[in-house]
Amino acid sequence: MDRLLLMTCFVRTVETGSFSAAGRDLGLGQPNVSRYVAALENHLQTRLLSRSTRKLALTPEGERYYTEARRILEAVDESESSLRENIAPSGLLRVACPTALAHTFLVPHLATFLERYPAVTLDLQINDRYVNLVDEGVELAIRIGHLEDSAMRVRRLAIFERVCVASKGYLAKRGIPNTPDDLREHDCLIYTLLSTGTTWRFRGADVPVSGRLRVSSPEAIRECVNAGLGIAQGPEWLYEEGLKNGNLQLLLRDYTAPPAPIQTIYMANRLLPKRAIVFMDFVAEIFANTEVFTPQGDIV
């Protein structure tokens, strides 16, 4: 029995969501993948997947085994790669990235990356929700803000200032806030996926804000603030165009919170394949050559 083949079929089934998709991905066909996963369950004497007519779901035992099996397969892959001289990065790389960062900084450079590494297939998952790297089979994630999970390792890409902005039209009607507490009397545009909820962070103070408009997209927040619908807080680079053309105005500059990091994260207990390492290097190169970010330094 080829134990690594059985593990591979199980891991790819979990990551693709079906025996059929795993079969296509591995070139084995759905019946073989289903048979190999069943053989693995028989060998382990435990059920790894709950099967229904609509979907597959991991059992608690399957969740534990998936984590270990994926780690083992990655270690084997990395060990084999290290024995080959001048091995080129190859294989499927899954990367999660927030929408604003992806569209502004990554997508314009993807052609260069794919041309530089023709044997790598990139699955760039662009969304603003929290992505669990283990459960969703993602090797790297680019995140904004401080890391609190000790199971992760980070590579810092850049730091940025989070600023308050409003259109000059809005300020002409509602007045200019002079302190963070003044925001309580204003319509603030609420980004619903912000980790601090409806609390905005300033130097020395966290201020609860409210407003009539709540949006789950940073780009939509940018459009709304440009349209004069309220005050927004976010990374300065997100509002760069409106600030340059004079439509937007920076607010509360004396109260700006300390810079926050943009980081690539990955599991601390995994050996990264070469495709992940070269992607991290490539992304670091992009941010190092981007002028809108503050030079790296201490972050509070």
Q: How many Cβ atoms sit within 10 Å of the Cβ of residue 77?
A: 16
What domains can be seen in the chain, in order of their start residue?
Answer: 3-82 (1.10.10.10), 91-159+260-288 (3.40.190.10), 162-255 (3.40.190.10)
Look at residue 299 in the predicted model and tell me its pLDDT: 39
* 58-71 per-residue burial string, b: 16 or more CB within 10 A, e: under 16: beeebeebbbebbe
Backbone φ/ψ region at 175: left (φ over 0), alpha (ψ -120 to 50), beta: left
DSSP state at residue 248: E
Among 222, 61, 67, smallest CA distance to 134 is for 67
Look at residue 300 in the predicted model and tell me its pLDDT: 36
CB neighbour list of residue 35: distance below 8 Å, 6 or more residues apart: none
Packed helices 19-26 and 30-44: angle between N→C axes, nearest 10 degrees: 110
Which H helix or E strand runs over 121?
strand 120-126
pLDDT tens for 159-174 read: 888 899 999 999 999 9
- Can you state the percent helix, strand and coil of the chain, rounding each to 5? 40, 25, 35
| Chain-centre distance for alpha carbon 294 | 21
Look at residue 294 in the predicted model and tell me its pLDDT: 52
Mean pLDDT of the chain: 87
What SS3 class is residue 108?
Answer: helix
DSSP string, 215-244: ES-HHHHHHHHHTTS-BEEEEGGGGHHHHH
CB neighbour list of residue 152: distance below 8 Å, 6 or more residues apart: 133, 265, 266, 267, 268
Q: How many Cβ atoms sit within 10 Å of the Cβ of residue 146?
A: 12
Q: pTM of the predicted model, to two decimals?
A: 0.67
CB neighbour list of residue 285: distance below 8 Å, 6 or more residues apart: none
Look at residue 72 in the predicted model and tell me its pLDDT: 86
Residue ranges in the chain modelled with pLDDT below 50: 85, 295-300
Look at residue 231 in the predicted model and tell me its pLDDT: 98
Look at residue 295 in the predicted model and tell me its pLDDT: 46
Q: Is the dihedral of CA 49, 50, 51, 54 positive or negative?
A: negative
pLDDT tens for 105-122 read: 999 999 999 999 999 999
